[in-house]
Amino acid sequence: MKELNTAKYFLELSRHYEDYFGIEGKCLKLNKGPMEKLHADFFVLEFPPNKRHGMFCYCTVGMSADRLDENLVELFIYSPKSDESLIELLTVCASYHRNVLPLNLQHTVNIGRPWLGESKCDHCFISNAYLDGDQLELFNYLGQEISCYWLIPITMNERDFKIDNGYEKLEQLFEDKQIDYLNPDRDCLVY
């Protein structure tokens, strides 16, 4: 993204999320780890249950600020409860995206620990915003389209299934088995 005014990017992306959810998000920052590897203004917005959804949503703001390639991505994750660990999860994803390899649609991420509590989900899958559609997924900024993708917690076996069978088969499995994406205690869909 050829961007000079990153402050405007942060403001407009925050407004994009807040307009969609219909409420003001709570600005949260991780106070530990290598924050210098992120854009100085990076933060996560937390949205409590609202008119759109009866669940919490955490959204990155600045994961792709000032990127100059085609990997213009921000991420959001849903949760049944407010949980600080999700700020860390999204911050780590943003750092990986900026400093190691860019993340994008249909990629998987190894969380390295349970998503919430003792969950079997220790990986995530980057998906289209199926619950919300383009109204949330597409953020247009200065003629650029930034994609706000859904980070779905999955198990290692589900990740392996995606590697072996492709992302479309994984998404079909989610649909066929009606994945309970808000349940940290859900069983793996692959037997």
User: pTM of the predicted model, to two decimals?
Assistant: 0.94
- Looking at every residue in the chain, the average pLDDT score rounds to 93
pLDDT at residue number 111: 93
**Alpha carbon distance 29, 43 (integer Å):** 5
Task: Sketch the domain layout of the chain as residue ranges.
Answer: 6-105+125-153
pLDDT bucket at 34, cuts 50 / 70 / 90? low
pLDDT bucket at 37, cuts 50 / 70 / 90? confident
Model confidence pLDDT, tens digit, residues 160-172: 999 999 999 999 9
For 139, phi then psi, to 5°, come to -115, 115
Share above pLDDT 90 across residues of the chain, in percent, rounded to a whole number: 83
pLDDT at residue number 1: 44
Using the predicted structure, report yes or no on whether residue 3 has a pLDDT greater than 70.
Answer: no
Instruction: Tell me how far apart the 2 most distant CA atoms of the chain are, in Å.
Output: 50
For 156, phi then psi, to 5°, come to -60, -40
Using the predicted structure, report yes or no on whether residue 132 has a pLDDT greater than 50.
Answer: yes
- Average pLDDT (14-29) is 97
Model confidence pLDDT, tens digit, residues 62-75: 999 887 788 899 99
With CA atoms as reference, report the closest residue to 37 among 7, 5, 13, 63.
63
Contact 154, 163 (CB under 8 A): no
pLDDT at residue number 102: 93
For 26, phi then psi, to 5°, come to -95, 120
Long-range contacts, 41-45 (Cβ 8 Å, 24+): 41/6, 41/7, 41/10, 41/65, 42/91, 42/94, 43/10, 44/86, 44/87, 44/90, 44/91, 45/14, 45/17, 45/18
Q: For residue 104, what are its two tokens?
A: 């994008």
- Average pLDDT (146-156) is 97
For 10, phi then psi, to 5°, come to -60, -45
pLDDT bucket at 150, cuts 50 / 70 / 90? very high
